[in-house]
């Protein structure tokens, strides 16, 4: 067995490879991940072709279970570390038939506002079909299946996860182009920072107010009118029993509770199938319902309107109509960013995890695993071999994988393998349509990942301000989503990064602080949308802020002051 000291970090192929830190801060479990990488690449490639981008896709490889990726420009040789020299790129974009065709496509996409067509397809076709498939799989109880049927169900789940990853990334460029186009133009016109510009987006993605904002909001008024249900919710006792009591409540309360809980129960709370699903953390759901009922934190739409008006006033008068048009397109599409996760792969991952836990339970009984949740560290052929008694990895090997996954993070690994990739091409040498698209993509990708350049200390942690306001509360250090049960009402979430699936805990939070991410990372979006202070991209908040410490989060300055120890 390979020991940790023997692990080597070598590039998985020619060129430069970068660790994906925003979405996968820990090693990826092995179940389904190869299919996920294939689906991600294919869907991303189809999306860039649909919008005529000069970026084709990302090559994906797993190195010691960590996700590494490499940008692949359209037509570039495999492993290219950057764009060709400017004169060569200038000629290629004007003479190469394939590039000329893509650039024409890009111009057509902007002229037609193709993202609106995509949004209709999502609303009318893809979202309903995905929801129906989720419900079909949820209706299958893994505990009722014999071994052969369970393995067949797991195979369906694996294919479903890959399909939903593909669906998610089918719409990646749909989400990126309008937002990036608005951001790039307004930055040029006003000189304002991305954070100042993006405040004008507040209120455009209601789902970012919670994992199921509409259904949770519908539950709140029934609870306000139901004293008995509130007693159940506020009483001491087992959280799972409280939720079951709410489900069984008579009248509107029970109906609203069942609608909400059935929708969120099997959803994942991170991008990793190794983390608990929502239904595995009843204490979190009870806290979310209590938080929503208390209504402590509310978005301030009037602030967004005032900031948008002030931003618009800085735009040269000749461009103000254009500003209005670009803002409208960015706001129209903004809800799709979180929706595609919550209604596609989030649900699929949680459903697959449920089946894997049943597999793990059986393998523990057979002496093949130490813990049921270690089943996520099995590839499907390995799971089949272990359950049928036809070989497979040893108990010790699977446990080693699980320990590695649970204890290692991107902080422990090289950020790059094979050198650093070159930057994107200079948009100023590109034809107009390609220039516009390239600037839009660069604006989003830069602000998705670009972190603060400031330095921090044990007393003051500095990052990017993503939503103003000041909040003082208890820091709750959450290393992974499975620890959500530790959050209390009014806590400051301190974590490496967040995903759309973290929305379930928003009603509990007073502020958000992250190590990773830029002005367009998920934590930044939800802080703005939910109306709580946020500081992201600190790089080391989880290392400097003690769990349980009293902190003051200054969302205006981008500073977190540590006021006292745990």
- Is 34's pLDDT higher than 70? yes
Q: Are residues 15 and 144 in the same domain?
A: yes
Average pLDDT, the chain: 91
* 239, part of any domain: yes
Using the 3D structure, point to which of 363, 387, 417 is the last residue of a domain: 417
Mean of the pLDDT values across residues 479-490?
83
531 pLDDT band, cuts 50/70/90, is confident
Q: Domain with 467 in it: what CATH number?
A: 3.50.30.10
**Residue 35: Cβ within 10 Å count:** 17
Do 464 and 387 lie in one domain? The reply is: no
In the DSSP assignment, the letter for residue 124 is I
User: Strand order in 464-467's β-sheet?
Assistant: 460-462, 559-564, 550-554, 470-478, 491-495, 509-514, 534-536, 464-467
Residue 516: the pLDDT is 84
**Is residue 423 included in any domain, yes or no?**
no
Overall number of domains in the chain: 3
Is residue 80 over pLDDT 60? yes
Residue 251 has pLDDT above 50, yes or no: yes
Average pLDDT value for residue range 435-439 = 96
For residue 87, give both structure tokens.
Answer: 């004169």
pLDDT tens-digit series, residues 300-359: 656 778 889 999 999 999 999 999 999 999 999 999 988 898 899 999 999 999 999 999
Determine, yes or no, domain membership for 191: no
Residue 224 in any domain: the answer is: yes
User: 214 and 164 share a domain?
Assistant: no
Q: Is residue 164 part of a domain?
A: yes
Three-state SS string over 22-78 comes to CCCCCCCCCCCHHHHHHHHHHHHHHHHHHCCCCEEEEEEEEECCEEEEEEEECCCCC
Residue 462, helix vs strand vs coil: strand
Asked if the structure places residue 248 within a domain, the reply is yes
pLDDT, residue 287, reads: 85
**pLDDT value for 296:** 57
On whether both 34 and 169 belong to a single domain, the answer is yes
Query: Are 407 and 488 in the same domain?
Result: no
Q: Are residues 46 and 172 in the same domain?
A: yes
Predicted TM-score (pTM) above 0.75: yes
- Residues 262 and 169 placed together within one structural domain of the fold: no
User: What pLDDT was estimated at residue 454?
Assistant: 83
Which are the contacts of 72, defined by CB distance < 8 A and separation ≥ 6? 55, 56, 57, 58, 59, 78, 80
Does 117 map to a domain?
yes
User: For residue range 109-165, what is the model confidence (pLDDT) as tens digits?
Assistant: 999 999 999 999 999 999 999 999 999 999 999 999 999 999 999 999 999 999 999
Q: Which has more pLDDT, 407 or 216?
A: 407
pLDDT category at 1 given cuts 50, 70, 90 is very low
Contact 319, 478 (CB under 8 A): no
377 & 525 share domain? no
* Residue 476 CB contacts under 8 Å (≥ 6 apart), including other chains: 486, 487, 488, 491, 492, 493, 494, 547, 548
Phi, psi of 553 (to 5 degrees): -95, 115
98 lies in the same domain as 10: yes
Q: Are residues 113 and 55 in the same domain?
A: yes
Residues 113 and 247 in one domain: no
Examine residue 152 and state whether it is found in any structural domain, yes or no. Answer: yes
Q: What percent of the chain has a predicted confidence (pLDDT) above 90?
A: 67
Question: What residues make up the domain containing 281?
Answer: 207-294
Assess whether pLDDT exceeds 70 at residue 282.
Answer: yes
Q: Please check the confidence at residue 2 and state whether its pLDDT lies above 60.
A: no
**Cβ atoms 296, 490 nearer than 8 A:** yes
Q: Are residues 8 and 59 in the same domain?
A: yes
Instruction: Give the least confident one: 203-207, 262-266, 538-542.
Output: 203-207
């Amino acid at each position: 067995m390979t020991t940790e000291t023997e692990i080597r970090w070598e590039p998985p192929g020619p060129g430069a490879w970068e660790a994906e830190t925003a979405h996968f801060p820990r090693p990826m479990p092995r179940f389904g991940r190869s299919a996920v990488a294939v689906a991600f690449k294919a869907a991303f490639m189809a999306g860039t072709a649909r919008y005529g981008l000069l970026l084709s896709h990302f090559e994906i490889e797993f190195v010691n279970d960590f996700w590494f990726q490499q940008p692949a420009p359209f037509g570039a040789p495999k492993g290219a570390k950057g764009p060709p020299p400017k004169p060569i790129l200038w000629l290629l974009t004007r003479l190469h038939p394939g590039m000329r065709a893509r650039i024409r496509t890009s111009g057509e996409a902007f002229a037609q506002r193709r993202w609106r067509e995509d949004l209709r397809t999502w609303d009318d076709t893809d979202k309903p079909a995905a929801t129906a498939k989720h419900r079909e799989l949820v209706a299958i109880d893994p505990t009722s299946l014999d071994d052969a049927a369970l393995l067949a169900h797991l195979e369906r789940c694996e294919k479903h996860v890959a399909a939903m990853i593909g669906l998610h990334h089918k719409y990646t460029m749909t989400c990126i182009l309008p937002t990036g186009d608005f951001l790039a133009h307004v930055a040029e016109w006003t000189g304002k920072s991305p954070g100042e510009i993006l405040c004008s987006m507040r209120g455009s993605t209601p789902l970012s107010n919670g994992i199921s904002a509409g259904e949770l909001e519908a539950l709140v008024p029934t609870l306000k009118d139901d004293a008995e249900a509130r007693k159940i919710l506020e009483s001491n006792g087992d959280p799972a029993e409280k939720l079951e009591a709410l489900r069984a409540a008579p009248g509107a309360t029970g109906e609203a509770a069942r609608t909400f809980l059935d929708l969120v129960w099997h959803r994942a709370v991170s991008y990793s199938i190794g983390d608990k699903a929502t239904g595995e953390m009843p204490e979190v759901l009870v806290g979310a319902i209590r938080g929503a009922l208390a209504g402590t934190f509310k978005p301030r739409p009037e602030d967004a309107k005032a900031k948008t008006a002030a931003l618009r006033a800085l735009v040269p008068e000749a461009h103000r109509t254009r500003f209005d048009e670009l803002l409208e397109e960015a706001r129209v599409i903004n809800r799709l960013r979180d929706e595609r996760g919550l209604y596609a792969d989030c649900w699929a991952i949680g459903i697959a995890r449920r089946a894997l836990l049943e597999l793990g339970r059986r393998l523990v009984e057979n002496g093949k695993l130490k813990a049921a949740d270690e089943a996520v560290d099995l590839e499907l052929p390995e799971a089949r071999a272990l359950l049928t008694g036809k070989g497979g990895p040893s108990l010790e090997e699977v446990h080693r994988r699980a320990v590695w996954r649970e204890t290692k993070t991107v902080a422990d690994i090289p950020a790059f393998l094979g050198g650093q990739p070159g930057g994107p091409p200079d948009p100023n040498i590109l034809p107009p349509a390609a220039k516009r698209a390239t600037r839009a993509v660069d604006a989003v990708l830069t602000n998705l990942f670009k972190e603060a350049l400031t330095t921090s200390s044990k007393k003051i942690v500095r990052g990017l301000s993503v939503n103003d306001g000041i909040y003082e509360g208890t820091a709750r250090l959450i290393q992974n989503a499975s620890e959500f049960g530790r959050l209390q009402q009014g806590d400051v979430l301190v974590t490496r990064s967040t995903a759309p699936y973290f929305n379930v805990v928003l009603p509990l939070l007073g502020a958000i602080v992250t190590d990773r991410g830029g002005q367009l990372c998920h934590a930044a979006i939800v802080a703005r949308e939910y109306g709580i202070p946020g500081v992201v991209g600190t790089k080391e908040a989880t290392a400097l802020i003690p769990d349980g410490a009293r902190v003051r989060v200054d969302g205006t300055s981008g500073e977190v002051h540590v006021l006292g120890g745990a």
